[in-house]
Amino acid sequence: MKLLTKTNIYSSVATIILFIIGIFVVFNFIFMKFDSEQDEQLLSAKKIIIESLKKGKTPEQFSSNIGEIISIKKINAQTSALNYFKEYEIQKGEDYTKIRELNFQCLINETAYSISVSISLSQDKKIGEYIFAIVALYLFISLFILFLLNRYISSHIFSPFYDTLSKIKKWNIKKNEPLIFKKTHIDEFNLINTTVQELTQQIKTDYKNLKEFTENVSHESQTPLSIISSKVELLMQGTNYNEKQQEYLQQIFQSTQRIYKLNQVLILMSRIENKQFLASEPIHLQHAIQQKINELEDFISAKQITISTEFKTQNKKYINPILFDILLNNLMINAIKYNLDQDGKIIIRLDEHTLTIENTSNIGKIEKKFLFERFTKSSTSSSLGVGLSLIKKIIEAFNWQITYSHKYNIHTFKIYL
């Protein structure tokens, strides 16, 4: 959930709650005020009635004032001097009208009266409805303004933040592009930006150092490796070795060869990463694949592998020929090396947009975490698993994509050209 959506939800909920409380408070307050005013009105009516009676007005002479209904009855004796207020509803057609009534007794010129004064409260109900409508409208307007405000905030105030986010997301350490963020007047965003910039700078420096270190190690070990290799070769020319010594020599030699091969791949990979294979030329994919099959004919026939091909395009791709050759070589060698010992199959399909290489194999599915990772070995092979990561490097360099799937003992590598 977006930060703003989240805060919006909170502020909207808070606004609604506040308004409900507000409406409640306002209603109560207003009606309390109404009640007291009405009571005052009734009491002042009482005063006037008493005054009038004292002046000699007869009860029959009292008519209803505006909004006031007065009824005066003579009684035998005054039993109470208190004011009784009561509220009740009367039905007038379909409408109910609320009535507030004051009952009191008084003794004027030796005559006891029981008097009731009542007023209709129908006006109050209308006023209540008005208030509710106004408050509801106000609530709606407030929410709308809140919504507009948030949109403004997200598009203007938060835009540097989202800009930063998208730039961080796109950032690739290998591309060596500097991170430049939008200028902003908000301290927190500036802090994020400078922190991220410092952080990526640090990562970049570390990455560069590490990369240079690996490259240097690979390069610098070339000469000592050459020396070891040639010395062992010369040592092997000797004839007076016993079996043990010969075995030692063989092991030294083979280990040297392994480091040397590994070194070559590492150097190749760093060269690809450093974009040292830029020269591209149009490559006829079908020809290249067929040529590769011919080159590997010895190994294919040694394992009696059947190769079937399906070419649906004569297209040429504009790519680096050396890298494409290495790519094909690695894909094909894997397909041969890990194939069945007999009656194996390799199927190669090429169309406009994909190149698929399938091979039969006894080896189970390669786990995703091992796939294309440097130096993961398949359990049945002693060779260093740099082949697949080299394939991935080249695929990346070409801006292609590769997928792997495994079904019924068939491994499929599909390249999206």
Range 287-346, binding another protein (CB under 8 A) = 295-296, 298-299, 302-303, 322, 329, 333, 336-337
Q: Minimum Å distance from CB 319 to another protein?
A: 16
Phi, then psi, of 57 in degrees rounded to 5: -70, 135
Q: Which is nearer to another protein, 298 or 352 (CB)?
A: 298
DSSP annotation string for 369-401 = TTTT-TT---TT--S-THHHHHHHHHHHHTT-E
Give the nearest distance from C-beta 385 to another protein in angstroms.
Answer: 13
Q: How far is the CB of 288 from another protein (least distance, A)?
A: 15
Q: Which amino acid is at 113?
A: Y
110 touches 130 (CB < 8 A): no
- Is 381 among the residues that bind another protein (CB under 8 A)? yes
Q: Which is nearer to another protein, 238 or 282 (CB)?
A: 238
Q: Residue 58 and residue 54: Cα distance in Å, rounded?
A: 9
Among residues 201, 222, 294, 405, the one that binds another protein under rule CB under 8 A:
222
| Nearer residue to another protein within complex by CB, 243 or 367 | 243
Q: How far is the CB of 370 from another protein (least distance, A)?
A: 19
Is 226 among the residues that bind another protein (CB under 8 A)? yes
Residue pair 204/173 in contact by the 8 Å Cβ criterion:
yes
Q: Which stretch binds another protein (CB under 8 A): 88-96, 178-186, 252-260, 369-377?
A: 252-260
264: contact with another protein by CB under 8 A: yes
- Is 229 among the residues that bind another protein (CB under 8 A)? yes
Name which of 176 and 246 has its Cβ closer to another protein: 246
Contact, 308 vs 345, CB < 8 A?
yes
Which residues neighbour 153 within 8 Å (Cβ) at sequence distance 6 or greater?
A: 4
How far is 194 from 185, CA to CA, in rounded Å?
13
- Using CB under 8 A, which of the segments 40-48, 141-149, 174-182, 217-225 binds another protein? 217-225
Which CB atom, from 118 or from 389, has the smaller least distance to another protein? 389
The string of DSSP codes covering 68-101 is: EEEEEEEESS------EEEEEEEEETTEEEEEEE
The candidate with the shortest Cα–Cα distance to 362, out of 379, 386, 376, 374, is 379
Residue 23, judged by CB atoms within 10 A of its CB (0-12, 13-18, 19+), counts as middle
Contact 105, 78 (CB under 8 A): yes
User: How many residues line the site for another protein (CB under 8 A)?
Assistant: 44
Which residues are at the interface with another protein (CB under 8 A)? 218-219, 222-223, 225-227, 229-231, 233-234, 236-237, 243, 246-247, 249-250, 253-254, 257, 260-261, 263-264, 267-268, 271, 276, 295-296, 298-299, 302-303, 322, 329, 333, 336-337, 381-383
